Amino acid sequence: MTERDPKRFQAVGEIDEALRRIPSDRYPLAFSDAEYAERLQRCREAMAAAGIDLLFVTWPEGMCYLHGYEVSWLRANSAKRWFPYTATAVHVDFDRLMLLGGEDAVPSAAKDRRAIPGSGLFSTTGREVTPQSSAAAVAEELAREGWLKQGTRVGLEFWSYVPCRAVSEVTEQAFRAQGAQVLDGSDILRTIRQLKSPAEIAALEHAARIGDIGMRAVARAFKPGMTHAEVYAESSYAMLRAGGEVPGIAQDVQPGRPRTTHLLPSRRRIEAGEPFAVDIAGVYHRYHANVDRTFVWGDPEPELVRMNEAAKGALEVLARHARAGTPVADVSRALREYYEAVDLWPYHGYCGGYELGIALPPDWCGEFLWSVADEHSRAVFRANLVTNYENTFRNENPAYRYPLLAFSRDTVVYEATGARCLSNIPLGLIVLG
Q: Both 142 and 209 in a single domain?
A: no
Do 175 and 222 lie in one domain? The reply is no
* 183 & 302 share domain: no
* DSSP assigned state of 120: S
Q: Where are the beta strands (DSSP E) in 372-417?
A: 386-395, 404-415
β-bridge pairing 54-57 and 87-91 = antiparallel
In contact, 215 and 432? CB cutoff 8 Å: no
Mark whether 301 and 418 lie in a shared domain. yes
| Residues 342 and 277 placed together within one structural domain of the fold | yes
| Banded pLDDT at 7 (limits 50, 70, 90) | confident
pLDDT at 260 over 90: no
How many Å apart are CA 63 and CA 332, to the nearest integer?
Answer: 34
Of 192, 219, 239, which closes a domain? 192
Residue of 70, 67, 104, 73 lying closest to 89 (CA atoms):
67
**N residues, the chain:** 433
CB neighbourhood size of 96 (10 A): 12
pLDDT tens profile 148-176 = 999 999 999 999 999 999 999 999 999 99
**Whether residues 252 and 361 fall in one domain:** yes
Q: How many CB atoms are located within 10 Å of the residue 265 CB? A: 18
49 in Cβ contact with 59 (< 8 Å): no
Q: List all residues 6 or more positions away from 282 whose beta carbon is below 8 Å from its beta carbon.
A: 206, 207, 208, 209, 210, 211, 212, 213, 214, 239, 244, 288, 289, 291
309 in the same domain as 222: yes
Confidence band for 26, pLDDT divided at 50, 70 and 90: confident
Q: What 3-state class would DSSP assign to 39?
A: helix
Whether residue 424 is contained in a domain is answered as yes
CA 302 to chain centre: 35
Q: Give the global pTM.
A: 0.95
The reply to whether 13 falls in a domain is no
Give the contacts of 358 (CB within 8 A, at least 6 positions apart).
Answer: 61, 64, 65, 193, 286, 287, 288
How many domains does one find in the chain? Answer: 2
Cα separation, 246 vs 210, in Å, equals: 12
Q: What is the CATH number of the domain that holds 70?
A: 3.40.350.10
Whether 393 and 361 share a structural domain: yes
Name the DSSP letter for residue 272: T
**What's the CA gap between 89 and 96, in Å, rounded?**
9
Residue 107, preceding peptide bond in cis (omega within 30° of 0): no
Confidence of residue 119 (pLDDT cuts 50, 70, 90): low
Q: CA 425, 429, 433 angle in degrees (round to 5)?
A: 100
- State the pLDDT at residue 237: 98
276 — phi, psi (to 5°)? -145, 150
DSSP string, 165-225: HHHHHHHHHHHHHTT-EEEE-HHHHHHHTSBPPHHHHHHHHHHHHHHHHHHHHHHHH--TT
> Where does a domain end: 192, 224, 254?
192
Q: Above 80 in pLDDT, residue 123?
A: no
| Dist CA 293 CA 217 (whole Å) | 13
Given a cut of 80, is residue 242 above it in pLDDT? yes
Q: What digits encode the pLDDT tens for the residues 333-377?
A: 999 999 999 999 999 999 999 999 999 999 999 999 999 998 889
The pLDDT-based confidence of 125 (bands split at 50, 70, 90) is low
| Residue 9 is assigned to a structural domain of this protein | no
Q: Which residue range(s) make up the domain with 43? A: 33-192
Q: Does 125 reside within a domain?
A: yes
Instruction: Average the pLDDT over 306-315 and give the result.
Output: 96
Does residue 141 sit in the same domain as residue 252? no
107-125 mean pLDDT: 77
Smallest Cα–Cα separation from 38: which of 142, 154, 193?
193
Q: Tell me which residue of 132, 97, 135, 91 sits closest to 116, measured CA to CA.
A: 135
Average pLDDT over residues 183-191: 98
CATH number for the domain spanning 210: value is: 3.90.230.10
One-letter amino acid at 259 equals R
Q: Please tell me whether residue 90 adopts helix, strand or coil conformation.
A: strand
Give the whole-angstrom CA distance, residue 256 versus residue 227: 14
Residues 44 and 138 in one domain: yes
Q: Does residue 4 lie in a domain region?
A: no
Residue 362 placed within a domain: yes
Strand partners, 156: 56, 184
* Final residue belonging to a domain, choices 136, 165, 192: 192
Answer yes or no: do 205 and 182 share one domain: no
φ, ψ for residue 279, nearest 5 deg: -120, 110
> Does any domain span residue 159?
yes
Q: Are residues 237 and 386 in the same domain?
A: yes
Residue 386 falls inside a structural domain: yes
